[in-house]
Amino acid sequence: MYSAPSLAASLGLSTTPVREALLELARSGLIEPVRNRGFRVMEPTLTELHNLFDLREVLEVHLARTIARAPGRRLTDLYSLADEIAHAVEREDVRAYLEADRRFHHAFTAQAGNALLTETVMALRNRMRLYGISSRAGYERQSQSVTEHYRLLDLAQAGDERAIAELMCRHIRSWEPIFAEAMKRNPRKSMSEPIAR
């Protein structure tokens, strides 16, 4: 249980912005308000994890196809974002990887020209609990994703809808067993791992 006043005091902030931040986390489904007690961190289930991956796959594969079929997309700037991901993986800097990956996928999905769909996809990505991200399997998966980011851009430029759909599906789903295994192994320990998106 966390209360806004106690968190505010420990952070040296006023209560109002802390309460607003907690309410935003509650809207994202990461915590829940408990009347007269504060906020409780929500522990996701494997079913919820699977459902999130299902929804992300449907939406992000659709977005990738949409981007590939639209001629004249300007994707050259996104290669530098893919470079940032590669550099973070080389340094084994999980936080930098997550930040660069988020910027890449936001910029990539925005290429579809549907702001509501981009917002929805990014909100779903925000709900992911990144259990196992710092595990050996997590680091290996980060490394594999480096070439996938460049390949997504190449396939989009080439207009190859079938190949980009297959790659995007793998790109998303390859994380699911890593997260699920970490949750099953030790959910409490997993919750202390980096949660930044």
Residue showing tokens 């809808």: 161
pLDDT score of 32: 84
Distance CA(68)–CA(72), nearest Å, equals 10
Domain count, the chain: 2
The CA-to-CA distance between both ends of the chain, in Å, stands at: 23
Distance CA(48)–CA(57), nearest Å, equals 14
pLDDT score of 74: 82
Distance CA(98)–CA(126), nearest Å, equals 11
pLDDT score of 197: 35
Burial of 108 (0-12, 13-18, 19+ CB in 10 A): buried
Residue 156 is assigned to a structural domain of this protein: yes
Same domain, 146 and 179: yes
Residue ranges of the chain whose pLDDT lies below 50: 189-197
Distance CA(173)–CA(180), nearest Å, equals 11
DSSP 3-state assignment of 74? coil
Which of these, 24, 61, 53, lies nearest to 39 by C-alpha position?
Answer: 24
Indicate which CATH number applies to the domain containing 28: 1.10.10.10
Same domain, 29 and 53: no
Residue 94 is assigned to a structural domain of this protein: yes
Answer whether 145's CB lies under 8 Å from 85's CB. Answer: yes
Same domain, 68 and 130: yes
pLDDT score of 113: 92
pLDDT score of 130: 84
Residue 86 is assigned to a structural domain of this protein: yes
Which of these, 109, 110, 89, lies nearest to 99 by C-alpha position?
Answer: 89
Indicate which CATH number applies to the domain containing 174: 1.20.120.530
Helix, strand counts (H, E) of the chain = 10, 2
DSSP H or E run through 112: none
Same domain, 93 and 176: yes
Residue 76 is assigned to a structural domain of this protein: yes
> What is the span of the domain harbouring residue 147?
46-190
pLDDT score of 186: 66
Residue showing tokens 């249980």: 1
